[in-house]
Amino acid sequence: MSIVLFVCTGNLCRSPMAEGLLGERLAARSLAARHHVQSAGTWAADGEPASEPAITVMAERGIDITGHRSHALTSDHIAEADLILVMGQEHARVIRSTWPQYEWKVRLLSEMSGKRRDIPDPYGRPIDDYRACADSLQRYIDAGMERILEFL
């Protein structure tokens, strides 16, 4: 089974939403048994639920992330992942400087769709910012799905 790891800062908003979105897309293609989706944060505390606005925005899309609990990024996460999709250049820099032997696994999520853009963090912002973030995540995942699968 291959593993896709989404990484953001606190593992409360962007990466749990991306995890839910990709998980739903894989299930729709009957690929969930072959690919596992995880998320972690470069500055995350373990065991925190996803932020309420993230839960709400995903529920609006029919995706339940209420069971999500945050994870601090570890060496095991990095070693076990087949593809590490980060939300921003800073996340990539942290991973590449801490685990240079795995730099080849790290990509910006936006790169999967041929772009090279950071996805802004909606944490602490109005719910419309979460909706805009989820729209970006969904757009990059949908447009980059074939490329994501190629890496796995």
Note the pTM of the prediction, 2 decimals. Answer: 0.97
What counts of helices (H) and strands (E) characterise the chain? 5, 4
User: What is the span of the domain harbouring residue 35?
Assistant: 2-151
* CATH code where residue 143 lies: 3.40.50.2300
111 touches 119 (CB < 8 A): no
Residue 89 to residue 86: CA distance in whole angstroms: 8
Catalytically active residues, by annotation: 8, 14, 121
The runs of H, that is alpha helices, within the chain are 14-28, 52-60, 75-80, 89-98, 127-151
SS3 of residue 71 by DSSP: coil
123 touches 10 (CB < 8 A): yes
The count of domains in the chain is 1
pLDDT tens for the chain, residues 1 to 152: 999 999 999 999 999 999 999 999 999 999 999 999 999 999 999 999 999 999 999 999 999 999 999 999 999 999 999 999 999 999 999 999 999 999 999 999 999 999 999 999 999 999 999 999 999 999 999 999 999 999 99
Question: How far from the centroid of its chain's Cα atoms is residue 94's Cα?
Answer: 16
